[in-house]
Amino acid sequence: MNNANQTPKQNGFHMPAEHEPHAAIWMAWPDRADNWRYGAKPAQEAFINVATAISKTTPVTMIVNEDQYQNARYRLPENIQVIEMSTNDSWMRDIGPSYVVNNKERMGIDWEFNSWGGLVDGLYFPWDKDDQVASKVCSILGDRSCRAPIILEGGSIHVDGEGTLYATEECLLHPSRNPHLTREGIEKTLKEYLGLEQIIWLPLGLYNDETNGHVDNILHVVKPGEVVMTWCDDETDPQYEISRKVYDALCTQKDAKGRNIIVHKLPMPGPLYITEEEAKGIDLSNGMEREPGERLAASYANYLITNDQIVFPLLDSEHDEEAKAILASLYPNHEITGVDAREILLGGGNIHCITQQIPQI
């Protein structure tokens, strides 16, 4: 019997890795005109393509604001479930539940969400609807949810399913998240709520990432003891130094099982920038930089692993095939599916950011 006064770890829960079996993938429909150009119509098409690709191997549920329900239901394939649910934007990785499991059940960890920085440097206000999504998802699925006493986004953590979590200091230690907590306090909370033994700290995330450097935009866990990360060979690019610092951090730490970490490299797309034409279609925002020439935080590491399939972003014709070949070598038993993701990137993230897996139990 689980004790309500004990932490998830004390009750035998741990967070499974993304490469473990999924019951479903949940997504959220984009419609913010100050983040997505032309009333989010191009972005909606990209989300449809991602959802359709995932649905070949894994059931997909799309949550949609009330005024977009009919549009989404009409435009999405019939096999994708559409549920009306209020959101402020569409980053399901960050607003959805991070699931933990034990040998009997699964439970959603419900992080406090403050729009990547709250009143310090958050991207929009209000964010109250987004903050309620995780508990609503759990309720619909008939799963318990557990509110964690920490501001966190799902995209700021990666786990290997064997007790190791990867995160960046840039994000988790940022003053806009949990200034009242020390690094040790954050570590303790994560270990107790996600059933962890070891935190691998990386200094920085991808250059100019408006999430304050989410780990999922620079690194992905291939399997326990093995990761893939964004690499840059241009010494004049700010990402060059960041990638080397991340690589050094990975090579000088061990995971929860005492393993040295094997590091693979993915090419950096671009660099890519918002065009004048793209910026013209976006409404003015107080929090998000959507001006012509703004550097986009583009990364092939922002892919989704789901049941026997990798769904990765097509971002740059000069590097897409190389990225696909690397992913195919890392996941020889998976179908590698590329989806044109420029429109998702324009909103500030990519395929991993807009998806959240529900583990199979």
- Cα torsion through 78, 83, 88, 91, rounded to 10: -60
Tokens of 185: 């306090």
Spatial neighbors of 337 by CB under 8 A, at least 6 apart, are 53, 56, 309, 310, 311, 312
Helix H or strand E segment including 50 = helix 41-54
Q: Which of 138, 171, 232, 353 does the annotation list as catalytic?
A: 353
User: Which pairing describes strands 22-28 and 106-112: parallel, antiparallel, or unpaired?
Assistant: unpaired
Cβ proximity of 2 and 10 under 8 Å:
no
In whole angstroms, what is the distance from residue 152 CA to residue 150 CA? 6
Cβ proximity of 118 and 130 under 8 Å:
no
Tokens of 318: 């000069």
- Cα torsion through 165, 58, 50, 157, rounded to 10: -10
**Cis status, amide bond into 42, omega within 30 of 0:** no
In whole angstroms, what is the distance from residue 263 CA to residue 344 CA? 27
Q: Which among 158, 159, 154 is positioned nearest to 109, based on CA atoms?
A: 154
Cβ proximity of 130 and 169 under 8 Å:
no
Instruction: Name the 3-class secondary structure at 19.
Output: coil
In whole angstroms, what is the distance from residue 259 CA to residue 254 CA? 5
Spatial neighbors of 265 by CB under 8 A, at least 6 apart, are 228, 229, 230, 231, 326
Question: First and final CA of the chain: distance in angstroms?
Answer: 18
Catalytic residue at 353?
yes
Residues belonging to the active site: 353
